[in-house]
Chain A
């Protein structure tokens, strides 16, 4: 059974870079059938897609975050990572990683999800 686990600092200072890693277990990260995604949820608010990476390294990003986001994949470690630069308090959220699967990106869905990790931005 595929499982995903987020890891990284729970507290980041304003203007610094938020870095998170998602480790995939119970399945392959290199399958051509799947992409891998980051999604976040500010406290008490809805879900926001951050971006998606393919095992080859190609990426799709949320247009509103694109200038600050980098998502990469390390197939040897079965991990993919998120970097969000110049963070502010508005970036405080629970960050989820998920498999973004489907025959093509337009028909794909997020399943399964990691448990999520809360990242707070504060000095």
Chain B
């Protein structure tokens, strides 16, 4: 069971806005920054958003992140077919001497 809670799936048609939520607690999201990773089928995960809302160079502007309290969200504005992938949130957890936790992942399907 993952420490961070994500919905197992989300979907949308091309051009739609899709939002994925990640719920945690005061010891992880509530205290530290959130990162998001995209995993295309058969490939290694790739950093999509870091420090809650920062995009690495090369990541399209349609991807955006935010955090409020013990929850975070990833929005894909203007969904495209190549966005069909698994998305994972992650944060450092200050409990138990500190450790990193991942969400269970959300499969985004482009209809």
Contact = CB atoms under 8 A, between A and B. Distances in A.
Contacts of A47: 37, 45, 88, 90, 102, 105
Contacts of B50: 102, 109, 111
B32 interface: yes
Contacts, number: 68
B92 A115 contact: no
Interface of A: 37, 46-49, 52, 60-63, 96, 100, 102, 105-116
B50 to A, nearest CB: 4
Residue among A60, A108, A109 having the largest count of chain B Cβ atoms under 10 Å: A109
Interface of B: 2, 31-33, 35, 37, 44-47, 50-51, 56, 88, 90, 92, 94, 96-105
Nearest to A96: B44
Contact of A107 (B45, B46, B51): B51
Contacts of A48: 102
B94 A106 contact: yes
22 contacts: A46-B88, A46-B102, A46-B103, A46-B104, A47-B37, A48-B102, A49-B90, A49-B100, A60-B98, A60-B99, A63-B97, A102-B50, A105-B92, A105-B98, A108-B92, A109-B35, A109-B47, A109-B51, A110-B37, A111-B50, A113-B44, A113-B45
